[in-house]
Amino acid sequence: MTSLTSGSPALNKSEIDARLILARALADHARTLTLPLFNAGMVVENKAGGSFFDPVTNADKDAELALRGLIIEAYPDDAIVGEEFDDRPGTSGFIWTLDPIDGTRGFVAGIPVWSTLIALGYDDKPVIGIIDLPAMGRAGERYIGMPAGTVREDISGTTTLTARKCTALTDVILGCTEPLAMFTQGERASYEMIRRTAKFSRLGLDAYGYAMVAAGRMDMIIEADLKPCDVRALIPVIEGAGGKLTNWHGGSAFNGGRVVAAGNPAMLDEVYPYLQRAMDTKI
């Protein structure tokens, strides 16, 4: 992917802190737009067409437009990437990546693990990530990854998170949203070799699974065919808690594709050989 930023100056901590304030405000605003529609129902379109169902709702579009407007007002030189609208280049070096409703199928089906993903990168490297889950619990849950670490915010307060350091593949609690839909035949064979060795697996969690890795409840997520807006917010959340999120070859997952996240980075060396046996070349 071509960089949307140019002429990046040296990274300034105060600029990150200011943008963290905006990121929280964006998540708050997205809640006011998406949660009422989740509770009341919404218009659903199939943006893929044909027999494949790739839903987009009026909540997706309206929320993304609103968040873009707030970013442009505050930082007109920042780049913006979103799920539903064209990329907006910038010159500051900062790039916002937005997915107002990640897990749209869950949103449509009334399952509360859908989230709002907000990411801030600098020079194509992740800096801040928010996984906001408005429908979870009595007042929602929010996971924020930042240079200082990862925290969970909910009705009980703010908790600093540390990922679990599972040391054996046989003890791994593994997650994947939907193996049959997101993997090719070769990718699924690689995933299955790991799943059969793991302690057990859970499906259908979307970004919430990554939050659970950061929280030390799960140990690993393996997925494929992710877009940049699906993954950029997840990286700071995982890595701020001491974990690691990469592509299947150990490189950057900033632009999506095949990804693997582990609470214990040392476990990645155990699974890379399995993942690299995938029988196709898409990464």
Residue span(s) of the chain under CATH 3.30.540.10 come to 13-160
The one-letter amino acid code at 8 reads S
Decide if pLDDT at 218 tops 80. Answer: yes
Lowest mean pLDDT among 55-69, 91-105, 207-221: 55-69
Topology annotation, domain 13-160 = Fructose-1,6-Bisphosphatase; Chain A, domain 1 (3.30.540)
Tokens 């877009």 found at: 227
* Spacing of C-alpha 154 from chain mean position: 19
Structure tokens at 253: 């997952």
Give the pLDDT confidence of 224-254 residue by residue, as tens digits.
999 999 999 999 999 999 999 999 999 999 9
Supply the pLDDT for residue 8: 57
Percentage, residues of the chain above pLDDT 90: 77
Please state the rounded mean pLDDT for residues 214-220. 98
Q: What pTM does this model have?
A: 0.91
- Of the listed ranges 54-68, 103-117, 220-234, the least confidently predicted one is 54-68
**What is the per-residue pLDDT for 104?**
85
pLDDT computed for residue 108 by the predictor: 84
Kindly indicate the confidence band of residue 258, based on its pLDDT and cuts at 50, 70 and 90: very high
| For residue 219, pLDDT beyond 80 | yes
> Is 53 exposed, middle or buried, given 0-12, 13-18 or 19+ CB atoms closer than 10 A?
middle
Q: Is the pLDDT of residue 51 over 50?
A: no
Asked if residue 50 has pLDDT above 70, the reply is no
Where in the sequence of the chain do the CATH 3.40.190.80 domains occur?
A: 169-275
| 122-161 pLDDT per residue, tens | 998 999 999 999 999 889 999 999 999 999 999 999 999 9
The closest of 224, 236, 265 to 150, measured between CA atoms, is: 236
Going by C-alpha positions, the residue among 37, 21, 149 that lies closest to residue 100 is 37
pLDDT (mean) for 94-112: 92
Alpha carbons within 13 A on the beta-carbon side of 149 = 10
Q: What is the mean pLDDT of the chain?
A: 90
Comparing 21-25, 38-42, 218-222, the range with the smallest average pLDDT is 38-42
- CA 219 → CA 1, 108, 112, 273, distances in Å? 30, 28, 21, 18
Q: Give the pLDDT confidence score for residue 280 in this predicted structure.
A: 54
pLDDT the model gives residue 265 = 98
Mean pLDDT calculated for residue range 105-131: 93
Task: Give yes or no for residue 166 having a pLDDT over 70.
Answer: yes
CATH architecture group of domain 169-275: 3-Layer(aba) Sandwich (3.40)
Residue 62: predicted pLDDT: 86
pLDDT of residue 59: 75
Reported confidence tier of residue 41, pLDDT bands at 50, 70, 90:
low
